[in-house]
């Protein structure tokens, strides 16, 4: 019987909520109209001029919104009705006290309770429905924060069923009804008092007769005049209301958002982890092996939450956050899959290090391992030579902990123990470093990365990343890119593509070395060596051999393509296989070294400048005279003159090899560091000759070209496997291997390097020609001294 009554009441309030949510405009307008009518009851009017609003409001329906609001009303309606009834009956007792002021206060209290109940049952759900419909497009489907209070009430009311409280309220209400009935209708009222009251009422009505008005103005003008004529009490009341509204909107918003975030319509409690010392307590981490696994876990969580959780969500907003917030209604329970994952059980560790024997047993235990040892105990084992220091990353449960322990070991040996405090090491993917990029890791070095561009090259635009600590370098290169772009862009070509390795072998006599050289230069000998070399890789293809004899030593320079890899390891592997095959034909041949410095790698060498190594690239552009004057602030004549006497004659006087440029190494090194290349290879890769000539009908335009015969570069392997470096490669569109044409990404990157070098050469040479170099560096790079009186050093100024 009780359940049937409860079901009937819930169904009744559900229907009421569905009606209110389906007709929000009608309910809102009706409520406002009724309020205005009650406020104007003592202003009887004979015409309808005041009623100037007469139009039909549009209505939009959304089934999900209406159903959710109706369900909320079905849950909260009976409770709010019972609460309002009990409050009115309790407060109404004061109206029978006989004390005039108390009776007035209690009457107003009852009216406030009824007004609040009336607004909540009609006006508020209608506003909720209307606001959700109107805010869908403007908020991109996300519920707005002002509805969080309503959501929190739903959650609290649904999650705290207390039948004892409901029964007590019902018993109280029945008792109070009896008290009021006995006091007001059963007890005999005084006739005299009744007559007196009736006279007062009639007197009041007579007094109201004089207050009748005949409106001659519109409604808004009438109420505006009433607002202007408010007394002090009304002004104070209105001011307090405005202050409370401002406080609610601006100061309680942050607290509300943090309590219940409705951007994600699913909420769960936030678990805070207590920070504990590393040497006594540590949480066991949950490791994610790959991005695919992480995405699979997130997808599974999202699907489970949609299937199992019955959620009030006007609009579902997708989110990448793993910890979602929710409130539920009905009999639904929180989805176990939404509970915080990876709750790491605390491992209690002793404050004092245990003996080495016990620590070794724990370390060798497959079920425990290093995570059951404190940092002090691991350091103790390292000092006792039980753990090699270079194996800390592999023996610890995480690479980061191994790096942290190595830093602790190192800090004790440094002159200043706090030297490493500004060298970061946390939150880095060391799994990509180990065995590929670095050993004995103690952290990583953050380097500023700037961008120069757009570089207009071969009809495309590139934003070039440059990692450097040299001020003005990126800005100067960026100015060169702008000048090239205004001139119509640059063009480039790859002249040759082949990485080299030059081993040294020894034979018994010099004549034997000459015989081996002659055999290798025959088609038959080259074919034998090429077959052995090519068998070691699907990308390595031997192109040619360059052979030299020094006494009985033989230097063989193997040259081969290497796909999108820089190729040193690939070519070395093929070289070793080819030398083994060569020994079968010449058993007396002795291999001294796979690298005999005849390559030549990471050293200045004329053979790289003449024969080339890696990618050989040429790049050219024509800069109009107007751009030279307005952007570069100089003249073509001055640029050509400085280039000849500085880059060509000056470098020749210095005996330079491949250094016929202004600062190619600056740009090459900055791009290499940003894109994960071997920075030491800037030695050979920076070989460049910059040529400038006057061109155009009046010889006022500038023709510039840069030729770089030995750019050693790749887009796979080595540092290109690190995520930040991959990001820079992705900026240029050359990350990874090219599937359609192997090696094309590396060649494209080489062309970008050559084009950016030309931009840097153009800008620096212009600064030198205009005499701005020292001034710009002193202002932007080194000093803040007053340089207003510093004059340029170039005699040929821009016209």
254 contacts 247 by C-beta, under 8 angstroms: no
Q: Dump pLDDT digits (tens) for 419-469.
A: 999 999 999 999 999 988 999 999 999 999 999 999 999 999 999 999 999
DSSP letter at 497? E
Choose the catalytic residue: 386, 602, 646, 796. Answer: 602
> What per-residue confidence (pLDDT) applies to 97?
72
Q: Dump pLDDT digits (tens) for 398-419.
A: 999 999 999 999 999 999 999 9
Higher-confidence residue of 644 and 148: namely 644
Same-domain pairing of 558 and 647? no
Same-domain pairing of 576 and 655? no
Is 142 inside any structural domain? Answer: yes
Residue 62, judged by CB atoms within 10 A of its CB (0-12, 13-18, 19+), counts as middle
Write the CA distances from 51 to 46, 215, 427, 602, integer angstroms: 12, 10, 68, 91
Taking the C-alpha atoms of residue 220 and residue 239, their distance in angstroms, rounded to an integer, is 21
Query: Is the pLDDT reported for residue 338 higher than 50?
Result: no
Question: For strand 491-501 and strand 614-623, is the pairing parallel, antiparallel, or unpaired?
Answer: antiparallel
| Tokens standing for residue 444 | 């990583």
Same-domain pairing of 670 and 770? yes
* DSSP assignments along 3-27, one per residue: HHHHHHHHHHHHHHHHHHHH-HHHH
| Tokens standing for residue 287 | 């490791």
Same-domain pairing of 578 and 624? no
| Interior angle at CA 189, CA 186 and CA 192, nearest 5 | 165
Residue 648, SS3 per DSSP: helix
DSSP letter at 766? H
The distance of Cα 536 from the centroid of its chain, to the nearest Å, equals 42
| Tokens standing for residue 375 | 């940092």
CATH number at residue 661: 3.90.770.10
Confidence class for position 567, pLDDT limits 50, 70, 90: very high
Same-domain pairing of 134 and 61? yes
* Domain end among 143, 160, 187: 187
CB atoms within 10 A of CB 509: 11
Q: Could you give the number of structural domains in the chain?
A: 3
Is 51 inside any structural domain? Answer: yes
- Alpha helix segments (H runs only) across 56-162: 63-92, 100-118, 124-138, 148-159
Is 11 inside any structural domain? Answer: yes
Taking the C-alpha atoms of residue 715 and residue 747, their distance in angstroms, rounded to an integer, is 9
Confidence class for position 53, pLDDT limits 50, 70, 90: very low
Same-domain pairing of 718 and 616? yes
373 contacts 359 by C-beta, under 8 angstroms: yes
Same-domain pairing of 637 and 743? yes
* Domain end among 187, 213, 247: 187
- Alpha helix segments (H runs only) across 619-735: 625-630, 636-643, 651-653, 664-674, 682-685, 723-732
Phi and psi at 54, nearest 5°, equal: -150, 85
Same-domain pairing of 154 and 13? yes
Is 440 inside any structural domain? Answer: no
Among the residue ranges 180-194, 647-661, 733-747, the one predicted with the least confidence is 180-194
Is 469 inside any structural domain? Answer: yes
CATH number at residue 562: 3.30.70.420
Residue 719, SS3 per DSSP: helix
Is 796 inside any structural domain? Answer: no
Same-domain pairing of 481 and 515? no
Same-domain pairing of 559 and 580? yes
Is 333 inside any structural domain? Answer: no
pTM above threshold 0.75: no
Q: Dump pLDDT digits (tens) for 21-50.
A: 777 767 777 777 776 666 655 554 444 444
> What per-residue confidence (pLDDT) applies to 753?
98
Place of tokens 């139009």: 55
Most confident of 3-17, 74-88, 703-717: 703-717
* CA dihedral sign of residues 310, 315, 316, 321: negative
Taking the C-alpha atoms of residue 44 and residue 263, their distance in angstroms, rounded to an integer, is 50
Same-domain pairing of 509 and 640? no
Is 334 inside any structural domain? Answer: no
* DSSP assignments along 658-685, one per residue: SEESSSHHHHHHHHHHHTT--GGGHHHH
Choose the catalytic residue: 49, 263, 308, 777. Answer: 777
Query: Is the pLDDT reported for residue 787 higher than 70?
Result: no
Taking the C-alpha atoms of residue 451 and residue 671, their distance in angstroms, rounded to an integer, is 10
Higher-confidence residue of 289 and 590: namely 590
Choose the catalytic residue: 458, 470, 512, 620. Answer: 470
Phi and psi at 108, nearest 5°, equal: -65, -35
Place of tokens 């049937």: 4
| Interior angle at CA 120, CA 117 and CA 121, nearest 5 | 85
CB atoms within 10 A of CB 648: 16
> What per-residue confidence (pLDDT) applies to 320?
42
Strands (E), 414-459: 449-457
* Domain end among 563, 593, 623: 593
Known catalytic residue: 678? Answer: yes
Choose the catalytic residue: 534, 678, 693, 744. Answer: 678
Known catalytic residue: 777? Answer: yes
Residue 644, judged by CB atoms within 10 A of its CB (0-12, 13-18, 19+), counts as middle
* Mean residue pLDDT across the chain: 78
The distance of Cα 78 from the centroid of its chain, to the nearest Å, equals 47
Query: Is the pLDDT reported for residue 624 higher than 50?
Result: yes
Same-domain pairing of 663 and 557? no
| Interior angle at CA 198, CA 194 and CA 200, nearest 5 | 120
**What is the domain extent for residue 551?**
503-593
Within 8 A by CB and 6+ apart from 579, the residues are 503, 505, 589, 591, 594
Phi and psi at 40, nearest 5°, equal: -110, 20
Residue 776, judged by CB atoms within 10 A of its CB (0-12, 13-18, 19+), counts as middle
Within 8 A by CB and 6+ apart from 694, the residues are 636, 637, 640, 700, 701, 702, 703
């Amino acid at each position: 019987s009780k359940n049937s009554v409860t079901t009937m009441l819930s169904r009744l309030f559900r229907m009421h909520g569905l009606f209110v949510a389906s007709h929000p405009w009608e309910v809102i307008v009706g409520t406002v109209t009724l309020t205005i009518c009650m406020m104007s009851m003592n202003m009887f009017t004979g015409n309808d001029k005041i009623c100037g609003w007469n139009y039909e409001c549009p209505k939009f329906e959304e089934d999900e919104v209406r159903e959710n609001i109706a369900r909320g009303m079905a849950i909260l309606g009976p409770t709010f009705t019972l609460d309002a009834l009990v409050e009115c009956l309790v407060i109404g007792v004061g109206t029978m006290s006989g004390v005039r002021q108390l009776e007035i206060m209690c009457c107003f209290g009852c009216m406030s309770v009824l007004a609040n109940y009336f607004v909540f049952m009609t006006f508020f759900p209608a506003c909720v429905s209307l606001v959700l419909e109107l805010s869908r497009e403007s908020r991109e489907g996300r519920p707005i924060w002002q509805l969080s209070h309503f959501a929190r009430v739903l959650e609290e009311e649904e999650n705290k069923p207390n039948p004892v409280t409901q029964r007590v309220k019902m018993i109280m209400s029945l008792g109070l009804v009896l008290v009021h009935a006995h006091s007001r209708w059963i007890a005999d009222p005084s006739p005299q008092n009744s007559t007196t009251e009736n006279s007062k009422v009639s007197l009041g009505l007579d007094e109201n007769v004089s207050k009748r008005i005949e409106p001659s103005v519109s409604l808004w003008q009438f109420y505006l005049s009433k607002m202007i004529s408010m007394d002090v009490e009304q002004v104070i009341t209105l001011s307090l209301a405005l202050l409370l509204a401002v406080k609610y909107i601006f100061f309680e918003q942050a607290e509300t958002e943090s309590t219940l975030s409705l951007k994600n319509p699913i909420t769960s409690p936030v678990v805070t982890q207590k920070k504990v010392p590393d040497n006594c307590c540590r949480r066991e981490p949950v490791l994610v092996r790959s991005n695919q696994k992480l995405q699979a876990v997130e997808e599974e969580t999202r699907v489970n939450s949609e299937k199992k959780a019955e959620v009030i969500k006007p609009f579902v907003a997708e989110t990448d956050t793993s910890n979602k917030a929710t409130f539920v209604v009905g009999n639904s329970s929180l989805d176990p899959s939404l509970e915080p994952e990876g709750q790491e059980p605390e491992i209690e560790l002793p404050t004092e290090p245990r003996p080495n024997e016990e620590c070794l047993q724990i370390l060798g235990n497959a079920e425990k391992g290093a995570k059951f040892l404190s940092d002090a105990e691991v350091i103790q084992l390292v000092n006792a030579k039980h753990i090699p220091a270079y194996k800390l990353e592999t023996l610890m449960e995480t690479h980061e902990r191994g790096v942290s322990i190595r830093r602790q070991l190192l800090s004790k040996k440094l002159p200043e123990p706090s030297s490493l405090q500004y060298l970061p090491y946390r939150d880095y993917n060391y799994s990509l470093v180990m065995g590929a990029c670095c050993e004995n890791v103690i952290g990583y070095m953050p380097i500023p990365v700037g961008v120069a561009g757009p570089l207009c090259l071969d009809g495309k635009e590139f934003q070039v990343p440059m990692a450097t600590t040299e001020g003005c370098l990126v800005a100067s290169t960026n100015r060169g890119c702008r000048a090239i772009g205004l001139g119509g862009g640059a063009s480039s070509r790859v002249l040759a593509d082949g990485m080299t390795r030059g081993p040294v072998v020894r034979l018994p006599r010099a004549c034997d070395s000459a015989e081996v050289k002659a055999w290798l230069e025959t088609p038959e000998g080259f074919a034998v060596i090429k077959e052995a070399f090519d068998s070691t890789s699907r990308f390595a293809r031997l192109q040619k051999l360059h052979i030299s004899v020094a006494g009985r030593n033989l230097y063989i320079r193997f040259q081969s393509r290497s796909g999108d890899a820089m190729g040193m390891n690939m070519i070395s592997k093929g070289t070793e296989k080819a030398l083994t095959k060569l020994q079968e034909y010449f058993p007396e041949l002795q291999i001294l070294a796979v690298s005999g410095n005849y390559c030549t790698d990471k050293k200045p060498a004329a053979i790289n400048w003449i024969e080339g190594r890696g990618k050989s690239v040429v790049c050219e552009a024509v800069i109009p005279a107007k751009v030279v004057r307005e952007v570069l602030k100089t003249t073509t004549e001055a640029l050509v003159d400085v280039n000849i006497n500085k880059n060509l004659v000056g470098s020749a006087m210095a005996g330079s090899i491949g250094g016929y440029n202004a600062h190619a190494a600056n740009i090459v090194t900055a791009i290499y560091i940003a894109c994960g290349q071997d920075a030491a290879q800037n030695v050979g890769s920076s070989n460049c000759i910059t040529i400038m000539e006057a061109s155009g009908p009046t010889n006022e335009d500038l023709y510039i070209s840069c030729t770089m015969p030995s750019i050693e570069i790749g887009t796979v392997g080595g540092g290109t496997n690190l995520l930040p470096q991959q990001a820079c490669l992705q900026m240029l569109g050359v990350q990874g291997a090219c599937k359609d044409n192997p090696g094309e990404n590396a060649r494209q990157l080489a062309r970008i390097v050559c084009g950016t070098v030309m931009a840097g050469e153009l800008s620096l040479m212009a600064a030198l020609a205009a005499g701005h170099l020292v001034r710009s560096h002193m202002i932007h790079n080194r000093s803040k001294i007053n340089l207003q009186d510093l004059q340029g050093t170039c005699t040929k100024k821009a016209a």
